[in-house]
């Protein structure tokens, strides 16, 4: 199979790219290397992929670039490129979210109208649910995003569905729940917590720490995403939850980091930020049925892998908190 991965240099996108290459697929990776965090880490994320002759990298902005020629001869497009982050989506940065999450997706869907046999797997987010009334949350729950980021991810989901309804495009949306693991972005909680623990620096927690998340290991997410792009049992026009299957409080996650590092943590609590939801939890019955999804990596194992990655990237130097 020839596949396209947008956002191939990012956290999840680079893992997905590696998974596809290792399975024997050829991959065209697309990334615009925006400035949401430093390009050096993104280049490191692509190091393994660059060793494959079956990998090609295109530097392209989906919101503005010409796409029809790029997508014309591929079987599946995995659309992971996005402007990420709940807390930074307020205020004058919202135009970036609108461009990179909504406009970019619409441009890609327009290009795919010329190749309706191509499958599009869209990487959505649990942020579309907002403050949920029922846990675990099913895909048919009414979305109520609590952040501008969540609004843009839901908008792109709606675009995928309406192109399915109107033009028959083979679209499917995956709602990722709190991904973690090696290559995590420097603004994400576990990356910050792990670096702070290793450097014996204070850790800032928004809220009292009892809020829960359905933490999902990145390689489990990659496996579900490949399944959505390849299996004949996928129901097009639908959304699927992809979650780790066990809600864990932030406090419990910090306890696990303390145990793994053997260090007492200096935790400082501050009020929660706008857009932060109280709890998330995925009902994954639909993904188990149609994608064969079965999360395999539990929290402690995944945190150890993330800590090992941080130490490897640091190269034995003092571990610094991300700027």
Between CA 145 and CA 110 the distance in angstroms is 26
In the chain, the domains with their CATH numbers are 2-177+217-242+282-296 (3.40.50.720)
Read off φ and ψ for residue 203, nearest 5 degrees.
-115, 125
**Other residues' Cβ atoms within 10 Å of the Cβ of residue 204:** 12
**Dihedral angle sign, alpha carbons of residues 24, 53, 113, 85:** positive
pTM over 0.75: yes
Between CA 188 and CA 184 the distance in angstroms is 7
Between CA 123 and CA 179 the distance in angstroms is 12
Helix (H, G, I), strand (E, B) or coil at 102: helix
**Pairing relationship of beta strands 212-213 and 248-249 according to DSSP bridges:** antiparallel
Cβ-count burial of 315 within 10 angstroms (0-12 exposed, 13-18 middle, 19+ buried)? exposed
Do residues 256 and 300 lie in contact, with contact meaning Cβ atoms separated by under 8 Å? yes
Which of the residues in the chain have pLDDT under 70? 314-323
State the catalytic residues: 149
* Residue among 141, 116, 114, 119 nearest 130 (CA): 141
At residue 315, the pLDDT reads 55
| Residue 169, both tokens | 């495009």
At residue 314, the pLDDT reads 64
At residue 319, the pLDDT reads 41
Bridge partners (DSSP) listed for residue 28: 4, 56
Do residues 216 and 179 lie in contact, with contact meaning Cβ atoms separated by under 8 Å? yes
**Other residues' Cβ atoms within 10 Å of the Cβ of residue 289:** 12
């Amino acid at each position: 199979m020839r596949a396209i991965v947008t956002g191939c240099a990012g956290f999840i996108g680079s893992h997905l790219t590696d998974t596809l290459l290792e399975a024997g697929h050829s991959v065209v990776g697309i990334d615009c290397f925006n400035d949401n965090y430093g390009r050096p880490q993104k280049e490191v994320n692509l190091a393994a992929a660059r060793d494959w002759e079956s990998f090609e990298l295109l530097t392209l902005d989906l919101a503005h670039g010409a796409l029809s020629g790029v997508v014309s001869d591929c079987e599946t497009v995995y659309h992971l490129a996005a402007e990420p982050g709940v807390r930074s989506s307020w205020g004058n940065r919202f135009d970036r979210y609108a461009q990179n999450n909504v406009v970019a997706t619409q441009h890609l869907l327009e290009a795919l109208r010329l190749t309706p046999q191509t499958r599009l797997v869209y990487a959505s987010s649990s942020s579309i649910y907002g403050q949920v009334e029922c846990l675990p949350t099913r895909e048919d729950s009414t979305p109520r995003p609590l952040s501008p980021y969540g609004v843009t991810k839901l908008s792109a989901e709606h675009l995928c569905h309406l192109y399915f309804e109107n033009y028959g495009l083979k679209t499917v949306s995956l709602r990722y729940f709190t991904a973690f693991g090696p290559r995590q972005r420097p603004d994400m909680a576990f990356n910050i917590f792990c670096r702070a623990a290793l450097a014996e620096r204070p850790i800032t927690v928004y809220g009292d720490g009892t809020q829960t998340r359905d933490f999902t290991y990145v390689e489990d997410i990659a496996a579900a995403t490949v399944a959505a792009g390849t299996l004949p049992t996928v129901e097009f026009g639908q959304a699927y939850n992809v979650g780790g299957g066990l809600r864990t409080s932030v406090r419990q996650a910090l306890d696990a980091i303390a145990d793994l590092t053997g260090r007492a943590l200096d935790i400082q609590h501050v009020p929660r930020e706008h857009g932060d939801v109280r709890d998330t939890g995925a009902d994954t019955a639909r993904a188990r049925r149609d994608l064969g999804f079965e999360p395999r990596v539990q929290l402690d194992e995944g945190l150890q892998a993330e800590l090992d990655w941080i130490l490897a990237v640091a190269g034995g130097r003092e571990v610094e908190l991300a700027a």
